[in-house]
Structure 1
Amino acid sequence: MAFNPPPKMTAMAAAAGTYKANLSALQLLMRGLYGGAYIAIGAALCTVCSTGVAAHLGPGIGKLIGGAVFPVGLIAIVITGVELFTGDCMLVPLAAMMKKINFGMVLKNWICVYIGNLIGSIWYAYLMAVGPLVSGHADGMLAVNAFGITAINIAVAKTLTYKAVGAAGMWSCFMKAIGCNFLVNIAILLAICADNVVGKFFGIWFPIMAFVSSGFEHCVANMYFLPAGIFLNHWHPETTARIGGLLQHFGGLTWGDMWLWNELPATIGNIFGGFFFIGAMYYFFYRKEVPKG
């Protein structure tokens, strides 16, 4: 199996970041839209496949099954060449540190890809919220099904559990986001190491399975998880009493909860995890060994 050694891997990562930074804003936006949708595919699959598992096999196995199916999104992104904000948190700054681009280009990439990821993720959340997460009943109405209840509970766990404890919850979300993008960018580097599809598949699969099973926070995945729960709760308000707990205590899920208690700390944490803990460190490790030319 072909393998690129670490110095060459670092050079290839910087070259990938250079390519991404030189794309037009429209290209970044549209590729980001597809990247967000692909991550949402994995997140939706994780929601469906983990439903009911913990009650029969235990919470650890439930997490493992969800983690095992989630990586389909990043595998599709890497192999088909669309854009993901969390990967670009490492690749594009690495190119800037190698002096191939400037940091203004890093900012342009991040803004365009983030917006694209958000649009694609919310579109897929809408698709799921009016489709597989609800079921028809004899009274002619749609109601949230078991998969939809899981979707709402995931959204509650990612917002209201942090809101309930205030600053400590925000710090927890931030630290989980660092752990997430530490693993996501290990997956990106392992994919770059491999020169064939099988190697890329397994290089991506194991770290992504680890981040999801561990319960870390990925700002792009949460662009699906949280809108899906919000859509269902807003369109089917009876679920608030049905689920109870923090959902009933806070009177439901809001877009403000999504941004303040998850997306803001998760995005900042993902930047730290990708930029500083992977990109900057691999620049430090191999900058003098990177092949010239």
Structure 2
Amino acid sequence: MVTFSPAQVCVKIGTAGKSKCCLPAGNMFVRAFLAGAYIAMGAALATVGSTGVADILGAGIAQFVLGALFPIGLILVVLTGAELFTGDAMFAPMAILQGHTGLKGLIYLWVVVYIGNLVGSLFMAVLVSYGPYTVWDAAGVATLSAFGTRAIAIATAKVSYFGPMGILSVFFKGILCNWLVCLALFLGLAADDVIGKMAGVWFPIMAFVASGFEHCVANMYFIPAGIITNMIAGGPANIEILNWGTMWTNNIIWSTLGNIVGAAIFMAVIYSFCYKSEICALCEAK
């Protein structure tokens, strides 16, 4: 297995960021739709696989199972070339720092990919809510499956951030999340074979999910899946806090901002600073 140095990976990120910013809007949107769907597939698997685990093995093991299953989503994104906002929050700034694009290219990429990720995530949330999260009788009446109950519990927890300190908490969790997500992408780019890329992606993603950090694109699936499942089949009595408004005001706005800081500052800026001379030498040698 060939591995690339950190400076070489930074150059690969900058070059890829340039290419991403130049994609036609339609192509970019479709890739982003797919990425949202793929992340949702990992989230759905993690939801089903972690159902009931806490009751038998404890909350910590349940979180580990959730984290161990979720990475399939990012593995699919990486190996298929789909466009994920949280990754592009590192790729575009790195491209700017290497002089490949400007702020206009960054905004174009982020806006189109964010919308595409949201549409793909919502699409999957609808399919799964009407699928494994509910049980339908002959009269067409839905009841919650065990997986649906778990989905609602996850979604409710994700909108249970209140007040300034709650907002600060989800913002910090967003920073920590995308720091690890972008490290996963960084490690994936450091390998040139499929197994190496999968291993590089799996460990950091498992760590962020098991640690309870907040990923805006994953939450574009987790929260709507809980909302839609609850609308279809009914949930706990205190479910008023789980709605389309709190999805944004209690989580996604703040997790998105945290994800941007984690990617742009803690990855793009810091790694560009650490390997500035090596990056310049590699770019000049091209």
TM-score band w.r.t. shorter chain: over 0.9
1:179 matched to 2:176: yes
- Between the aligned partners of 2:219 and 2:192, the Cα distance in structure 1 is 31
Give the conservation status (yes or no) of the 8 Å contact 1:187–1:208: yes
Aligned to 2:245: 256
| SS state at 1:162 partner | coil
Aligned to 1:286: 275
Aligned to 2:211: 214
- Between the aligned partners of 1:139 and 1:17, the Cα distance in structure 2 is 52
Paired residue for 1:233, among 230, 235, 240?
A: 230
Give the conservation status (yes or no) of the 8 Å contact 1:233–1:252: no
Aligned to 1:66: 66
| SS state at 1:288 partner | helix
Aligned to 1:162: 161
1:236 Cα deviation (Å)?
Answer: 2.6
1:137 Cα deviation (Å)?
Answer: 3.6
Aligned to 2:27: 27
Aligned to 2:197: 200
| SS state at 2:236 partner | helix
- Between the aligned partners of 1:19 and 1:79, the Cα distance in structure 2 is 17
Aligned to 1:191: 188
- Between the aligned partners of 1:129 and 1:252, the Cα distance in structure 2 is 19
- Between the aligned partners of 2:24 and 2:139, the Cα distance in structure 1 is 51
Give the conservation status (yes or no) of the 8 Å contact 2:134–2:233: no
What letter matches 1:113 in structure 2? V
| SS state at 1:240 partner | coil
Give the conservation status (yes or no) of the 8 Å contact 2:158–2:251: yes
Give the conservation status (yes or no) of the 8 Å contact 1:177–1:270: yes
Give the conservation status (yes or no) of the 8 Å contact 1:240–1:252: no
- Superposition map of 1:124-143 within 5 A: 124-137=124-137, 140-143=140-143
Aligned to 1:115: 115
1:3 matched to 2:3: yes
- Between the aligned partners of 1:252 and 1:106, the Cα distance in structure 2 is 34
- Between the aligned partners of 2:241 and 2:221, the Cα distance in structure 1 is 17
1:252 Cα deviation (Å)?
Answer: 4.8
Percent identity between matched residues is 47
What letter matches 1:173 in structure 2? V
1:139 Cα deviation (Å)?
Answer: 5.9
1:286 Cα deviation (Å)?
Answer: 1.1
1:103 matched to 2:99: no
Q: Over aligned residue pairs, what C-alpha RMSD do you find?
A: 1.1
- Between the aligned partners of 1:173 and 1:265, the Cα distance in structure 2 is 6
What letter matches 1:157 in structure 2? A
Ranges in structure 2 where 5+ consecutive residues have no aligned partner: none
Aligned to 1:273: 262
1:232 Cα deviation (Å)?
Answer: 1.4
**Residues 1:236 and 1:142: Cα distance change in structure 2 (over 3 Å):** closer
- Between the aligned partners of 1:113 and 1:140, the Cα distance in structure 2 is 37
Q: Alpha-carbon deviations, 1:54-92, whole Å to 9, x = none?
A: 110011110111100100011011111010000000011
What letter matches 1:215 in structure 2? G
- Between the aligned partners of 1:54 and 1:222, the Cα distance in structure 2 is 21
What letter matches 2:275 in structure 1? Y
Aligned to 2:153: 153
- Between the aligned partners of 2:123 and 2:254, the Cα distance in structure 1 is 23
